[in-house]
């Protein structure tokens, strides 16, 4: 459903507030269908926000954005879909070890997508963001 909406209505992300409204709808859906997922997302956000020089903001296309020194590391959509920008080396390594996919829109780029579903997925999400954090800090 999410991919279909992004494919056919993705152009609406440029209309102010529409992506934020869509993200709110995703969160409301999760609230009624899988409340624990909202807690997993909060756990990831809280832990990452404690890292040095990390700030949290609202992503321009909806969701929670993680920034290192005001540069985006990745963002977490309201349905638990985490998008992170990595380099190819880190991306290949992570994709070998975890159930990580190419970004849902930007295929064959440095972006990856990982869907948080279960409690264990929190640690994988944090590991992905940590790899992005380390990689960005080195640059």
Partner 1 sequence: MESQTSKIISGIFISNILAVIIVGIAKFLTPQAGYSDVIIFSVFFIVPFLMGIFNGWQWHDMKMRAVKVIGWCIVSTLLSVVLSAIFLGEGTICLFIVSPVILAMMVAGTFIGREVYRRKNNTLKSSLLGVLALFFVADVVSEHESLEMVSDTLIINAPVEKVWPFVVEYEPITLKENYWLFQAGMPSPVQSTVDGHEAGAGRKCIFSNGYVFDEKMVVYKPNEELTFDIISQPRDPEIMGHIDITRGQFILKDNGDGTTTLIGNSWYKLYVFPSWYFNLWSESITRNVHLRVMDHIKILSEENV
**Rounded least distance, CB 104 to partner 1, Å:** 21
3/34 with CB nearer partner 1: 34
**Rounded least distance, CB 80 to partner 1, Å:** 11
* Residue 101 CB-half CA count within 13 A: 11
**Rounded least distance, CB 50 to partner 1, Å:** 13
71/134 with CB nearer partner 1: 71
**Rounded least distance, CB 55 to partner 1, Å:** 7
CA 128 to chain centre: 10
57/92 with CB nearer partner 1: 57
**Rounded least distance, CB 22 to partner 1, Å:** 9
42/89 with CB nearer partner 1: 42
Find out whether 113 and 69 touch, Cβ atoms under 8 Å. no
56/101 with CB nearer partner 1: 56
Find out whether 132 and 74 touch, Cβ atoms under 8 Å. yes
Residues that bind partner 1 (CB under 8 A): 16-17, 20-21, 23-25, 27-28, 31, 35, 38-39, 41-42, 55-58, 64
CA angle, 101 as apex, 98 and 16 as ends, to 5°? 130
Find out whether 100 and 112 touch, Cβ atoms under 8 Å. yes
Residues in contact with 87: Cβ distance below 8 Å, sequence separation at least 6, in sequence order: 110, 135
Strand partners, 68: 54, 71
């Amino acid at each position: 459903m999410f991919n279909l909406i992004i494919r056919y209505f993705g152009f609406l992300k440029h209309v102010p507030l529409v992506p934020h409204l869509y993200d709110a709808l995703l969160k409301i859906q999760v609230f009624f269908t899988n409340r624990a997922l909202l807690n997993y997302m909060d756990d990831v956000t809280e832990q990452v926000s404690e890292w040095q020089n990390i700030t949290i903001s609202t992503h321009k296309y909806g969701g929670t954005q993680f920034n290192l020194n005001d540069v985006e590391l990745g963002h977490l959509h309201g349905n638990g879909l985490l998008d992170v920008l990595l380099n190819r080396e880190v991306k290949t390594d992570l994709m070998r070890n975890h159930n990580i996919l190419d970004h849902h829109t930007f295929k064959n780029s440095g972006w990856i997508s990982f869907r948080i579903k279960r409690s264990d997925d929190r640690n994988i999400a944090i590991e992905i963001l940590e790899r992005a954090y380390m990689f960005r800090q080195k640059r």
